[in-house]
Structure 1
């Protein structure tokens, strides 16, 4: 236990180097201890009651000031956490960048970015905040390396609401995929390794997101919905229209009338596969049993509608 406490103190000292002012050290220490405490709610008020039962009010004020008003950099804190943790991660079997968003259920409407939107924690639409993150992962675990609150359009356009909540002027509306792409670009610019990017269909269906990853030299494995269109084997667009002798040279591909001249949605491709092309694969150890699903692999090319003309 003594060694663990000493390691904890070294960790806090490492993080504290990024706070900017020494007087924020106490706030960092109290907040970290509160996060590790066996509390049902990890908000400032129950933390203060746990840390200082005889002086809860004053401890609440100091913790709240540290979390909500002190101008330390959350990006610097994430960087320092990564400096501490990444050297202990084993990338011998490969590494991945995992793009995801996390919902935090909320009761009121004053927390920054709160709105009725999809909350993964609840599995449905509800009142919540959503944060977009990029995590570095290996076989043994993962570590958040970028984290940004998603600001819905109604928040971004409401000047009075922004001013009351203290949203900076330079924070504008951006879709979740745009936030994730900017986070990955920033990591790459800082020299992060170019591991494969993993993301669910919320990001994978966006052509611009996939193309952005390719432009950065990153490979990716992303989910898509059954409505995404592709060119499977034996299907291809027509070439550009022949030049008529006037005007600019046509460069866009064309869709034909025949079925083999039109892209298919992923669902159509899957339903058209032979039974022998499917394999049953165990893909994860679940809590009570091994998870198994049917998979098929077919090489296709994405059908970008913006490059096509009927």
Structure 2
């Protein structure tokens, strides 16, 4: 437990040291700690002006220039963050969770803003969308990447991109899946270790994304739509006994017709499985699984896609009656309990997104530029990782289960309502309030 401001200051300085070395520029080395302090400290609003009023009243312009300036790049600091995250939770048992999070906005000038689905609102809304990658080990998340998804309407509007400072090499449209795969390559190049990658159906519905994921990690599990076509694992490709006139066949013909994911589990038994203990008791649902081959190969002369590699099809039936479907690359002997627990491990990234917004102001940035948004997001990631570094150190663990924690626990006197609405069973001792920066 950190009992004094001096101890907190020392821990904070040590944590930021490699980041500041990567930043290099002396003026930026001065303002980066101030900005991160503003994110970590008390206050309902974490945009530049209210943070400056609390921690640097006479230096609002300098703080704004630091975070919005396109003169410095995020890449060197992102390498440090990736390595620190790997040190905290990386390893063969670690999950890499791919998702996205929406930042609701008013107006049309903020970079990347458009009418698109916002999970936080449960509907289509005017927002920015950030592709997110999170390392997680035993319910301990450390987000390591936040990248803006640029809608096609933006990519086709040169003047709009110019005004928002979108780099020339980022103006070609890229899907969220393509952005995520590029980020995985970056993290692997930085030495990040993980054993399994997870993604929801927004990513898993794409065969190109699944192939890209499979080429990067042997173990993965993704959501798919119920209409996804697949074959039983026993499907075989047959060739006609005699070849008639005309062009010879290039591919065999499947001896079974593909069916939807929903139909693929029609005769498979379902079993109730508990995957973890929640705040209100055990979390459980009914699951079923069978081996399949997805219809994602080349298109045959019959008009159907040929079967791909053998995978697990997993179905989840929730207490509400809703059903969800997943594909997993795990070995054939994998127990259903393991498949269910792996699929449900995605929940920690959603908790991390909520805490980065409610406690660290991820969605509070009021600038409009590409550089400003990504600089702010990176500072939030560094602040979040620092809190995890402290909690893991305080609990005497590395990558162990901290159950449900809240960043509000860091400042209980400052955020009583936030602490109250983030229920948890246990967490390491709270830190003292951040000192005011003069």
Structure 1 and Structure 2 fold alike (TM over 0.5): yes
Contact 1:96 1:136 in 2 (8 A): yes
Alignment of 1:66-77 (within 5 A): 66-77=66-77
Q: 1:115 to 1:239 in 2, by over 3 A?
A: farther
Question: Where does 1:1-310 land on structure 2 (aligned, <5 Å)?
Answer: 1=4, 2-53=6-57, 55=58, 59-89=59-89, 91=91, 94-171=93-170, 172-193=172-193, 195-233=195-233, 235-236=235-236, 238-239=238-239, 243-244=243-244, 247=247, 249-254=248-253, 261-270=256-265, 272-274=266-268, 277-304=269-296, 306-310=298-302
Give the Cα–Cα distance (whole angstroms) in 2 for the partners of residues 13 and 240 of structure 1.
69
For the Cα contact (< 8 Å) 1:200–1:223, is it kept in 2? Answer: yes
Computed over aligned residues only, the root mean square deviation of the Cα atoms, in angstroms, reads: 2.3
Query: Whole-Å Cα distance in 2 between the matches of residues 50 and 85 of structure 1?
Result: 29
Displacement of 1:191 in angstroms is 4.2
Q: Greater CA deviation, 82-91 or 221-230?
A: 82-91
Following superposition, the deviation at residue 136 of structure 1 comes to 1.9
Q: C-alpha displacement at 1:235, in angstroms? A: 4.6
- Alpha-carbon distance, 1:212 to partner: 1.5
Is the Cα contact below 8 Å between 2:132 and 2:146 reproduced in 1?
Answer: yes
**Residues 229, 264 of structure 1: 8 Å contact kept:** yes
Q: TM-score, normalised by structure 1?
A: 0.87
Q: Which has the higher contact order (CA 8 A, sep 6+)?
A: 2
Residue 241 of structure 1 deviates from its aligned partner by 9.4
Tell me the distance in 2 between the aligned counterparts of 1:60 and 1:101.
Answer: 31
Unaligned runs of 5+ in 1: none
For 1:194-240, what per-residue CA distance to the aligned partner results, in whole angstroms no more than 9, with x for missing partners?
A: 52111111111111111112223432111111111110255555548
Change (3 A) 1:209 1:107: same
Structure 1 residues 240, 282: closer, same or farther in 2, change over 3 A? farther
Q: TM-score, normalised by structure 2?
A: 0.63
Q: By how many angstroms is 1:303 displaced?
A: 0.9
Pick closer, same or farther for the CA change 1:242–1:164 going to 2, 3 Å. Answer: farther
Task: Name the counterpart of 2:382.
Answer: none
Total equivalences in the alignment: 297
List per-residue Cα deviations over 1:92-134 (Å, max 9, x = no partner). Answer: 7x11111111111111211110111111222211111111122
**What is the Cα deviation at residue 88 of structure 1?**
3.1
The Cα of 1:245 is off from its aligned counterpart by 6.2
Q: Which runs of 4+ in 1 moved over 4 A?
A: 233-247
Inter-CA distance 132–241: structure 2 relative to 1 (3 Å threshold): farther
Change (3 A) 1:20 1:104: same
Alpha carbons of structure 1 residues 216 and 241: separation in structure 2 relative to 1, 3 Å: farther
Aligned partners of 1:132 and 1:150 also within 8 Å: yes
The 1-side partners of 2:206 and 2:104 are apart by 26
More displaced stretch, 186-195 vs 234-243: 234-243
Gaps of 5+ in 2: 303-438
